[in-house]
């Protein structure tokens, strides 16, 4: 009888391979391009849409039971098919919290302390002393999405002596947040914030969540950061808010279309900082991802419920 396979579509360290062999001795570890019966794949570690489609992974009536992706967002996965086939999906939520939170603070400092302008001035050999700089201390930051990333951003914000407002679906209390409001009530509290940070996942409820109505309720000169999902923000409405002065600066790591088209007006705006969807890049990414997988696979081989990061198909995250 053929062994069930674990298809390794994400980079994995040698010591982690050895650990997998210990944890799942009845499974064969299948590398990306190995010749292995696709119907015998039971677990997928990482994801490669092209490879999966070429192999017919989701079209084959095989033994696939669980996919561990290497990202927090799962909007690119065929959630309906996975749900229909009762295939478990776990994400990488939590491993991005440190790098993304640090990236948000970096974007804010780049604008507030004129570091972004200094880079331009240096390239032009221009000495510019007469500048108005902004301090983060005492400013109010609204963190829209208070999961692992939002919580870490709240912790860092407190280190800068900022006041924090958290936004989530339920209104549950979250550490490092001075105040919490429910997502449906957020629009009523926008004027309290000097900084608004979007960390929302992409769902049917959050698509174009930040639109003209939302920007219109912000105070003049709000700083807006998007490290969530690109399509949660209506780009045309954001540009209009920048033109109108409702938003004085936008730090954007994610976009409605990626890569950001060369003809996008965002590239040339001095009030926009563009980073190419890199805020989640972590120095210890693969180790942190394997830690999630390791805990889950121990439960899986014992026939227990997966304890970490199981995606709720009803919520799409």
Six-digit token string for 55: 């192999």
Contacts of 56 (CB under 8 A, 6+ apart): 38
CB 1 within 8 A of CB 37: no
Query: Please, what is the Cα angle at 158 between 154 and 163, to 5 degrees?
Result: 85
Phi, psi values for residue 225, rounded to 5°: -125, 135
Reference 47, options 105, 15, 87, 101; nearest CA is: 87
Strand-strand pairing, 222-226 and 195-198: parallel
The β-bridge partners of 30 are: 7
Q: Which member of 27, 42, 229, 256 is catalytic?
A: 229
What gap in Å lies between CA 235 and CA 255, rounded to an integer?
Answer: 8
Peptide bond into 259 cis (omega under 30): yes
Active site (annotated) includes residue 179: no
Q: Which member of 258, 284, 304, 305 is catalytic?
A: 258
Active site (annotated) includes residue 277: yes
Active site (annotated) includes residue 155: no
Q: Which member of 269, 277, 288, 308 is catalytic?
A: 277
What gap in Å lies between CA 232 and CA 210, rounded to an integer?
Answer: 6
Contacts of 165 (CB under 8 A, 6+ apart): 140, 141, 142, 143, 177, 178, 179, 180, 181, 189, 192, 193
Alpha helices per DSSP H over the chain: 14-23, 49-55, 79-84, 97-112, 115-123, 148-159, 212-216, 235-244, 285-301
Residues belonging to the active site: 229, 258, 277
């Amino acid at each position: 009888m053929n062994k069930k396979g674990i298809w390794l579509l994400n980079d994995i360290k040698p010591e982690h391979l050895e650990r997998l062999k210990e944890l799942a001795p009845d499974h064969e570890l299948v590398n990306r391009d190995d010749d292995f019966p696709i119907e015998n794949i039971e677990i997928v570690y990482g994801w490669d849409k092209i490879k999966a489609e070429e192999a017919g992974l989701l079209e084959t009536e095989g033994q696939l039971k669980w996919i561990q992706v290497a990202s927090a967002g799962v909007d690119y996965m065929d959630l309906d098919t996975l749900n229909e086939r009762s295939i478990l999906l776990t994400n990488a939520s939590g491993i991005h919290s440190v790098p993304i939170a640090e990236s948000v603070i970096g974007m804010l400092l780049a604008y507030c302390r004129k570091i972004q302008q200094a880079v331009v001035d240096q390239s032009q050999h221009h000495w510019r002393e007469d500048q108005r700089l902004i301090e983060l201390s005492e400013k109010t930051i609204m963190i829209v999405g208070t999961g692992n990333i939002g919580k870490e951003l709240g912790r860092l914000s407190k280190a800068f002596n900022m006041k924090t407002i958290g936004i989530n679906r339920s209104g549950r209390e979250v550490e490092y947040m001075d105040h919490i409001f429910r997502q449906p009530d957020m629009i009523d509290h926008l004027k309290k914030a000097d900084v608004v940070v979007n960390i929302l996942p992409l769902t049917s409820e959050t698509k174009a969540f930040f639109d003209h109505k939302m920007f219109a309720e912000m105070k003049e000169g709000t700083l807006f950061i998007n490290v969530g999902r690109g399509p949660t923000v209506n780009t045309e409405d954001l540009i209009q808010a920048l033109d109108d002065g409702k938003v004085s600066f936008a730090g954007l790591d994610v976009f409605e279309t990626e890569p950001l088209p060369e003809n996008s007006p965002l590239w040339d705006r001095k009030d926009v900082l563009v980073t190419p969807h890199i805020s989640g890049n972590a120095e210890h990414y693969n180790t942190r991802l394997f830690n999630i997988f390791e805990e889950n696979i121990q439960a899986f081989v014992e026939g227990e419920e997966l304890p970490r990061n199981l995606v709720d198909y009803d919520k799409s995250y």
